[in-house]
């Protein structure tokens, strides 16, 4: 079938590409080379590249329709997609064509590329993981759609004002988004509030969900999938012309504003319950639009509801989309008139749930009152699900009232709230953690009661990252070297092939080349002396991640160099990057203190050439892609038992940074693979940390007995850093929730070993190469393969 209906094929030669570019500039952008701005050139280039992917998309959609496959649907409140231009150039095979054509037409490719704004539709790990999984699903030719929200304002832009984090709105799509295909005719209607009448739920407020989609191309294959993002709009007639005419402009658009607020802003919080009705509205909005779209797609080729679970698996990315469970029950029972038991069996075979946390406070709960007001029918359905759940618990564990109380979907004290994680476990056939240790801890702690009831439901799928984005695109120099070392670039689709680099670790010439490439990456980052060790901690700010521990080490290094500059040893640049949730004051205090310490060190001539602290603001995917290739040391120093996985740890190891870390999250698996001798381990492990926490932990005893630690904390307390950060020191001395002081000595001593190892550059380089060689497991392609074999059981559909 000719899906182009006779349209001429898009060009593949430089001349043809240039012709297509010109044509788009003229007909779609409506301008000419003579008068085009850089923005015109950027948008036109994006369209020209997008066209090539659109062609593949059309063929993918046709092949999927033809084969009526089992679909993987990924529901996620966040997608941290990263910049699109370079990736789409690579994936469409136009990396060379595009800059050449731009230059011929008189545009600067660099200037044009700088206009590519990353859609920051996610906070951190969970959102970036979602983006990596979509990339790998397409690369593995799996029929899949990601569903999310098209926030007008993504994750805030971080600026520093006097060292303090200030948040500015991120109007990422202010100039429009050339990668996006609006599909307003696929709108859905979503109800909120209202009451339960004799005929069922009568919503009191209705908004439209309008989708648009971005293309998600596979690498080295023809498949192009999509991520479909919903935007909230008022129903068409909401504009109040009468009020407008009376000069009441704000009132005239009130309804529209209220509706549009639903997709206005991404909640800048990745771990705690915002407790806000608008967030709950967002969650239901995403779920309701997406499920109707999924059902619509099912109906193209299928008639029988009994086929639904065979054709559909819906993965819930953490608890944010958990309302999908009662929503599908509502659709099946209220609208499709299926029997409850029948519907429940379909639902239970359709959904799977990934948990991304170990922090109890990050397990979402919603006040029963709020949920019942916003979604009365859903609350009723949740109660019915709960009745059946508790009946099962009672029959399996007779008389165990405490267990019933713990497992209930409803928390009674101190306020009645719906426990979304319990609902997610109850309404799914598979629940996974994101690293071995995390999955073990989920079944032994967070979900122990559920694991006792349904042991087979729990599994692990260790996270992974996209080698295309985080090695090939981020680190082109090292990628070329890897390809030449391995004799092929097949590693980009099969990352286990990196193991072929291991023998080269013993080849002095290869080591020299490796050092050269890594040095180039450092020079490109431009942070001064590329001979200094670049020690990086890049991630969200959270006390459990322990940026404060790194900071205490920095202060200790500073004290040592002030007391004894001749004996300081290895010069270091310490780089912090990351944002704190705007209402998370403790994390913001740590940011402020880091900036104050950085300024004090910068101002001290003694530190010159020995120690520097840099903290570029607004850490995002774009910045990550610059920092990661340049990093020598990767800081993964969370309190053991708190970090679910980490994925930055994988990106850094893949690019040849050595890790200093605790036995937490995926660090455990990284160390297993790269070898204990190529990993700097320190600190309490999970059982030891838990035992210390459970005992009478007194952080002051560490302060009293360790001179360097005391000096570091005293410096903060005495106002040595502009009087900033005393509250950080007090909180460590008085409470130290995450055992920073308990791990300080082991950390600092291990850092001394790091410095000693750095002195032997040949050995360091060997370790660096072995880190890359042995990290092939951490490809998101492997992660998706694991999801496929353990949970999704979907098959590839390849285009002929
Ligand atoms: C994060 C986890 O903190 C991180 O350890 C993990 O690597 C990442 O998810 C991907 O699995 N969690 C979140 O971002 C989050 O919002 C509720 O958890």
One-character DSSP codes across 445-474: IITHHHHHH-GGGEEE----B-HIIIIIIT
Rg, C-alpha atoms of the chain: 27
C-beta 578 within 6 A of ligand 1: no
Tell me what pLDDT residue 567 has. 87
- pLDDT bin (cut points 50, 70, 90) of residue 515 is very high
Q: Give CA–CA dist 548/736, Å, rounded.
A: 10
Choose the catalytic residue: 651, 673, 750, 782.
651
Whether residue 410 contacts residue 330, with contact meaning beta carbons closer than 8 Å, is answered with no
Tell me what pLDDT residue 345 has. 98
Q: How far is the CA of 78 from the centre of ligand 1 (A)?
A: 11
Q: Give CA–CA dist 274/735, Å, rounded.
A: 24
Mutate to test the pocket of ligand 1, among 130, 356, 442 (most ligand atoms within 8 A of CB): 356
C-beta 357 within 6 A of ligand 1: yes
Tell me what pLDDT residue 255 has. 84
Output the six-digit token pair for 742: 């308990």
Tell me what pLDDT residue 322 has. 98
DSSP annotation of 34: T
Q: How far is the CA of 364 from the centre of ligand 1 (A)?
A: 14
Q: How far is the CA of 766 from the centre of ligand 1 (A)?
A: 31
Q: How far is the CA of 682 from the centre of ligand 1 (A)?
A: 22
- Mapped onto helix, strand or coil, the DSSP state of residue 94 is coil
Report which ligand 1 atom has the smallest distance to the Cα of 125: 8
Query: Can you say how many angstroms the Cα of residue 300 is from the centroid of all Cα atoms in its chain?
Result: 32
For residue 356, indicate whether it is catalytic. Answer: yes
Tell me what pLDDT residue 256 has. 86
Whether residue 155 contacts residue 171, with contact meaning beta carbons closer than 8 Å, is answered with no
Q: Give CA–CA dist 653/711, Å, rounded.
A: 33
Report which ligand 1 atom has the smallest distance to the Cα of 354: 11
Q: Give CA–CA dist 529/531, Å, rounded.
A: 5
C-beta 644 within 6 A of ligand 1: yes
- Beta-strand ranges (E) seen in 287-337 are 312-317
Tell me what pLDDT residue 287 has. 98
pLDDT, mean of residues 68-79:
98
Choose the catalytic residue: 540, 592, 612, 642.
540
For residue 750, indicate whether it is catalytic. Answer: no
- pLDDT bin (cut points 50, 70, 90) of residue 2 is confident
pLDDT, mean of residues 40-54:
97
User: What confidence tens digit (pLDDT) does each residue in 476-489 have?
Assistant: 999 999 999 999 99
Report which ligand 1 atom has the smallest distance to the Cα of 665: 5
pLDDT, mean of residues 21-39:
96
Closest C-alpha to 534, from 652, 709, 398, 421: 652
Q: How far is the CA of 128 from the centre of ligand 1 (A)?
A: 9
Closest C-alpha to 785, from 133, 90, 18: 133
User: What confidence tens digit (pLDDT) does each residue in 444-473 have?
Assistant: 999 999 999 999 999 999 999 999 999 999
Q: Give CA–CA dist 597/165, Å, rounded.
A: 15
Tell me what pLDDT residue 4 has. 78
pLDDT, mean of residues 246-262:
87
Same fold, 68-83+118-461 and 467-684+739-780: yes
Tell me what pLDDT residue 258 has. 87
Atom 16 of ligand 1: nearest residue by CA position: 270
Choose the catalytic residue: 50, 545, 546, 750.
545
Q: Point out which residues pair with 431 in neighbouring strands.
A: 353, 458
User: What confidence tens digit (pLDDT) does each residue in 332-358 have?
Assistant: 999 999 999 999 999 999 999 999 999
Choose the catalytic residue: 279, 468, 511, 539.
539
Tell me what pLDDT residue 274 has. 59
Interface predicted TM-score (ipTM) of this complex, two decimals:
0.98
Output the six-digit token pair for 141: 């030719």
Tell me what pLDDT residue 528 has. 80
Q: Point out which residues pair with 555 in neighbouring strands.
A: none
Q: Give CA–CA dist 530/165, Å, rounded.
A: 28
Q: How far is the CA of 638 from the centre of ligand 1 (A)?
A: 13
Atom 13 of ligand 1: nearest residue by CA position: 126
Whether residue 305 contacts residue 350, with contact meaning beta carbons closer than 8 Å, is answered with no
Whether residue 438 contacts residue 358, with contact meaning beta carbons closer than 8 Å, is answered with yes
Whether residue 671 contacts residue 664, with contact meaning beta carbons closer than 8 Å, is answered with no
User: What confidence tens digit (pLDDT) does each residue in 741-793 have?
Assistant: 999 999 999 999 999 999 999 999 999 999 999 999 999 999 999 999 999 99
Q: Point out which residues pair with 681 in neighbouring strands.
A: 661
For residue 539, indicate whether it is catalytic. Answer: yes
- Beta-strand ranges (E) seen in 466-619 are 533-538, 572-577, 611-614
C-beta 645 within 6 A of ligand 1: yes
User: What confidence tens digit (pLDDT) does each residue in 147-162 have?
Assistant: 999 999 999 999 999 9
User: Lowest mean pLDDT: which of 131-145, 273-287, 330-344?
Assistant: 273-287
Q: Point out which residues pair with 228 in neighbouring strands.
A: 147, 213
Whether residue 444 contacts residue 434, with contact meaning beta carbons closer than 8 Å, is answered with no
Tell me what pLDDT residue 270 has. 54
- pLDDT bin (cut points 50, 70, 90) of residue 362 is confident
- Mapped onto helix, strand or coil, the DSSP state of residue 28 is helix
Q: Give CA–CA dist 309/178, Å, rounded.
A: 36
Range 761-799 burial, b when 16+ CB lie within 10 A, else e: eeebbbbbbbbbbbbbbbbbbbbbbbbbeebbebeebee
Q: How many Cα neighbours within 13 Å face the side chain of 633?
A: 27
pLDDT, mean of residues 126-142:
98
C-beta 55 within 6 A of ligand 1: no
User: What confidence tens digit (pLDDT) does each residue in 622-638 have?
Assistant: 999 999 999 999 999 99
Atom 4 of ligand 1: nearest residue by CA position: 646
For residue 281, indicate whether it is catalytic. Answer: no
C-beta 646 within 6 A of ligand 1: yes
Q: Give CA–CA dist 225/218, Å, rounded.
A: 8
**Would the pLDDT of 588 be above 70?**
yes
Q: Point out which residues pair with 711 in neighbouring strands.
A: none
Mutate to test the pocket of ligand 1, among 74, 78, 80, 270 (most ligand atoms within 8 A of CB): 270
DSSP for 694-760, please give it. HS---HHHHHHH-HHHHHHHHHHHTTTTTT--HHHHHHHHHT-TT-HHHHHHHHHHHHHHHHHHHH-
Share of the chain above pLDDT 90, in %: 92
pLDDT, mean of residues 212-240:
93
Tell me what pLDDT residue 458 has. 98
- pLDDT bin (cut points 50, 70, 90) of residue 1 is low
- Mapped onto helix, strand or coil, the DSSP state of residue 149 is strand
Q: How far is the CA of 739 from the centre of ligand 1 (A)?
A: 21
Higher pLDDT, 258 or 45: 45
Output the six-digit token pair for 539: 């991630």
For the chain, the average pLDDT equals 96
Closest C-alpha to 376, from 205, 201, 204: 201
Choose the catalytic residue: 356, 518, 522, 572.
356
User: What confidence tens digit (pLDDT) does each residue in 706-737 have?
Assistant: 999 999 999 999 999 999 999 999 999 999 99
Give, for 161, the enclosing helix (H) or strand (E).
strand 157-161
Domain segments of the chain as ranges: 1-67+85-117, 68-83+118-461, 467-684+739-780
C-beta 318 within 6 A of ligand 1: yes
For residue 545, indicate whether it is catalytic. Answer: yes
Q: How far is the CA of 460 from the centre of ligand 1 (A)?
A: 14
**Would the pLDDT of 273 be above 60?**
no
C-beta 124 within 6 A of ligand 1: yes
Closest C-alpha to 570, from 411, 751, 741, 728: 751
Query: Can you say how many angstroms the Cα of residue 420 is from the centroid of all Cα atoms in its chain?
Result: 20
For residue 264, indicate whether it is catalytic. Answer: no
Give, for 688, the enclosing helix (H) or strand (E).
helix 686-694
User: What is 467-684+739-780's CATH number, 3.40.50.720, 1.10.1370.30, 3.40.50.2000, 3.30.450.20?
Assistant: 3.40.50.2000
- Strands 157-161 and 195-197, by their bridges, are unpaired
Backbone torsions φ then ψ of 614, nearest 5 degrees? -125, 145
**Domain 68-83+118-461 adopts which CATH fold?**
Rossmann fold (3.40.50)
Q: Which residues contact 61 (CB under 8 A, 6 or more apart)?
A: none
């Amino acid at each position: 079938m000719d899906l182009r209906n006779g349209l001429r094929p898009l060009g593949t030669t430089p001349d043809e590409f240039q012709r297509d570019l010109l044509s788009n500039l003229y007909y779609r952008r409506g301008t000419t080379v003579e008068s085009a701005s850089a923005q015109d050139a950027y948008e036109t280039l994006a369209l020209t590249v997008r066209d090539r992917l659109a062609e593949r998309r059309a063929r993918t959609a046709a092949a999927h329709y033809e084969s009526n496959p089992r679909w993987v649907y990924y529901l996620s409140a966040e997608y941290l997609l990263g910049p699109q231009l370079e990736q789409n150039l690579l994936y469409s095979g136009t990396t060379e064509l595009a800059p050449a054509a731009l230059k011929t037409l008189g545009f600067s490719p660099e200037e044009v590329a700088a206009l590519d704004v990353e859609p920051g539709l996610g906070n951190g790990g969970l959102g970036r993981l979602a983006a990596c999984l979509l990339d790998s699903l397409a690369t593995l030719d799996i029929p899949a759609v990601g569903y999310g929200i098209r926030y007008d304002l993504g994750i805030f832009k971080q600026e520093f004002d006097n060292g303090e984090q200030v948040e500015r709105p991120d109007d990422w799509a202010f100039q429009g988004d050339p990668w996006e295909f609006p599909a307003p005719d696929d709108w859905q209607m979503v109800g909120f509030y209202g009451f339960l009448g004799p005929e069922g739920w009568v919503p009191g407020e209705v908004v439209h969900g309008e989708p648009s989609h971005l293309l998600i191309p596979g690498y080295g294959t023809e498949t192009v999938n999509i991520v479909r993002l919903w935007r909230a709009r008022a129903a068409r007639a909401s504009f109040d012309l009468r009020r407008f005419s009376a000069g009441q402009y704000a009132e005239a658009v009130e309804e529209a504003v209220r509706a549009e607020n639903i997709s206005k802003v991404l909640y800048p919080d990745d771990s705690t319950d915002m407790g806000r009705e608008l967030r709950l509205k967002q969650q239901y909005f995403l779920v309701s639009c997406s499920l109707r779209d999924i059902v619509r797609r099912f109906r193209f080729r299928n008639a029988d509801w009994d086929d639904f679970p065979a054709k559909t698996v819906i993965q819930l990315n953490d608890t944010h989309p958990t309302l999908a469970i009662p929503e599908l029950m509502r659709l099946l029972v209220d609208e499709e008139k299926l029997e409850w038991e029948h519907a429940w069996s379909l639902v239970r075979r359709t959904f799977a749930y990934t948990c991304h946390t170990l922090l109890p406070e990050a397990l979402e709960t919603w006040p029963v009152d709020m949920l019942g007001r916003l979604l009365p029918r859903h609350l009723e359905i949740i109660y019915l699900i709960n009745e059946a759940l508790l009946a099962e618990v009672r029959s399996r564990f007779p008389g165990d009232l405490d267990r019933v109380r713990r497992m209930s979907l409803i928390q009674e004290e101190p306020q009645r709230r719906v426990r979304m994680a319990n609902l997610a476990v109850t309404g799914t056939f598979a629940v996974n953690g994101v690293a071995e240790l995390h999955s073990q801890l989920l079944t032994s702690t967070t979900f122990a009661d559920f694991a006792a009831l349904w042991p087979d439901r729990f599994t692990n799928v260790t996270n992974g990252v996209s080698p295309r984005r985080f090695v090939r695109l981020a680190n082109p120099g090292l990628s070329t070297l890897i390809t030449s070392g391995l004799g092929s670039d097949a590693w980009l689709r099969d990352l286990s092939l990196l193991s072929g680099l291991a023998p080269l670790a013993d080849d002095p010439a290869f080591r020299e080349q490796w050092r050269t490439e890594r040095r180039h990456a450092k020079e490109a980052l431009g942070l001064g002396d590329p001979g200094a060790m670049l020690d990086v901690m890049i991630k969200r700010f959270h006390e459990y991640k322990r940026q404060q521990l790194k900071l205490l080490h920095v202060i200790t290094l500073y004290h040592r160099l002030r007391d004894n500059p001749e004996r300081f040893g290895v010069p270091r640049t310490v780089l912090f990057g990351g944002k704190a949730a705007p209402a998370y004051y403790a994390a913001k205090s740590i940011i402020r203190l880091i900036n104050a310490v950085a300024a004090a060190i910068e101002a001290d001539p003694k530190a010159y050439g020995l120690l520097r602290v840099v903290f570029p603001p607004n850490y995002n995917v774009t910045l990550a892609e610059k920092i990661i290739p340049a990093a020598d040391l990767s800081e993964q120093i969370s309190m053991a038992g708190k970090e679910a996985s980490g994925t930055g740890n994988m990106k850094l190891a893949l690019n040849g940074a050595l890790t200093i870390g605790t036995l937490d999250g995926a660090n455990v698996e990284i160390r297993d693979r790269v070898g204990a001798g190529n990993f700097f381990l320190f600190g309490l492990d999970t059982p030891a940390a838990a035992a210390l926490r459970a005992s009478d932990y007194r952080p002051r005893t560490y302060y009293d007995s360790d001179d360097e630690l005391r000096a570091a904390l005293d410096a903060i307390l005495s106002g040595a850093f502009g009087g900033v950060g005393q509250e950080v020191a007090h909180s460590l001395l008085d409470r130290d929730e995450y055992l920073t002081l308990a791990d300080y000595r082991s950390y600092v001593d291990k850092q001394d070993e790091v410095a000693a190892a750095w002195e032997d550059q040949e050995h360091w380089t060997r370790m660096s190469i072995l880190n890359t060689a042995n990290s092939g497991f951490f490809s998101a392609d492997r992660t998706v393969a694991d999801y496929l074999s353990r949970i999704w059981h979907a098959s590839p559909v390849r285009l002929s």
